[in-house]
Amino acid sequence: MFLDRIANPQAAITESSELAKMIYGSQSNAGVTVTTDSAMRQSAVYACVSVISETVAQLPLILYMRDGDRKQRAIANRLYSLLHDAPNDFQTSFEWRQTKTAHLCLRGKAFSFINRSVTGEALELLPMHPDRVKIKQHKDYRLEYEFTDADNIRHILRQDQVFRLTGLSFDGVNGISPIAYHRETVGTGIAADKHTALSFKNGAKMNGVLSNPGHFSTTEVAKRVKESWDEAHSGDNAFKTPLLEDGLSWIQTSMNNRDAQYIETRKFQTEEIARIFRVPPHKIGHLEKSTNNNIEHQGLEFVTDTMMPWLRRWEQAIARDLLGRSDSRKYFSEFLVDGLLRGDSKSRAEYYARAVGSNNGPAWLTVNEIRAMENKNSIEGGDVLYVPSSVMPAGENK
């Protein structure tokens, strides 16, 4: 049955060359093959994808119903539970949103099948791996999806059967993969990790040669000497006292790690990858340029500059695919980001105090406007701009 196969994580491979590149990767100039999976083995990529996807997943996602200029939680609507609690029988809302956002970060697109009732109500949302989905746009701009399940059976899905999230796109439909577009940057990071690992495996030493003033009697003897040296002085035996005999001497032929500036290279690659995902370096443990004076404001920038675009993608995709034009007039979804801003509550309180005119100055915000900014309902009498008693029109102070 289609619904039994749709969420199987074992992706079926199609003949698409672009899809094959995404799955099997292509080699970067650094000499390593870059795929979405190999990219995730690079610590900076893993950290960026984790911090973005986990932040989206941890924020409460609420479905609201409009009531004039007020709003209230639409708890009676089934979609509220799908978004806030569990979209299906095997995933929590956190798990589903984390998976979909990770797909977005790595592939630029994410999909879920909308299992609807005969009346069109969304009953469950089932994740589909983006590598198994192809999008076709007809001349009337209507979208059609081709999904290949784990049994290699193709299914044609209508636009109203798929929940689609799209990252940066050049055609408005197909999102681009950050990993594919920045293959060289990611590949250099992977190559640096590989070099470091091999360096430690070989005793954290660069290559050199054993010099013999004469010559070895046979090639087999030379090979045996090399193997004996490697076994005795690399890996777990590194840094032990070497014993050279028969006139052999060790000559280093390459720069050491410090001269080659591998540490600096790895730091730079971390910053480059953070730049790709627009994640502040301190959020992935790179604290070199962070101080106690600016870390809080960097946290606010993370919310406004990094996370808000991802959250808006989610909210507007929900309106388009799950609510539709008709229901969107009555309902809307919203992420609650208050928790991410609590670190600057003192500054917000001081700003609001000035805004309502509590510091003997004219008010420029009403109480209800401030409550709306804090995701609170309006209150009776909260739409009045208050003016301190010490403030009066010019000429009346007698």
pLDDT of 380 above 70: yes
**Which one has a higher pLDDT value, 275 or 13?**
275
Residue 203 has which token pair?
A: 């005793």
The pLDDT of residue 129: 96
The pLDDT of residue 209: 60
Question: Would you place residue 15 in the very low, low, confident or very high pLDDT band (cuts 50, 70, 90)?
Answer: very low
Question: Would you place residue 394 in the very low, low, confident or very high pLDDT band (cuts 50, 70, 90)?
Answer: very low
The pLDDT of residue 264: 65
Closest residue by Cα to residue 87 from 63, 71, 103, 108:
63
Residue 78 has which token pair?
A: 């089934």
pLDDT tens sequence across 30-75:
556 778 888 888 888 999 999 999 999 999 999 999 988 888 999 9
pLDDT tens sequence across 286-324:
776 666 566 667 777 888 899 999 999 999 999 999 999
The pLDDT of residue 122: 95
- CA pair distance 321, 159, nearest whole angstrom: 8
Residue 46: φ, ψ to 5°: -60, -45
**Which one has a higher pLDDT value, 164 or 262?**
164
Low-confidence winner among 78-92, 139-153, 170-184 (lowest mean pLDDT): 170-184
**Which one has a higher pLDDT value, 383 or 202?**
383
Residue 170 has which token pair?
A: 């050049």
Beta strands 26-27; 33-34: pairing state: antiparallel
pLDDT tens sequence across 206-225:
456 656 666 655 677 667 76
How many other C-beta atoms are found inside a 10 Å radius of the C-beta of residue 51? 21
- pTM recorded for the entire structure: 0.71
CB burial class (10 A; 0-12, 13-18, 19+) of residue 21? middle
pLDDT tens sequence across 191-201:
666 666 665 56
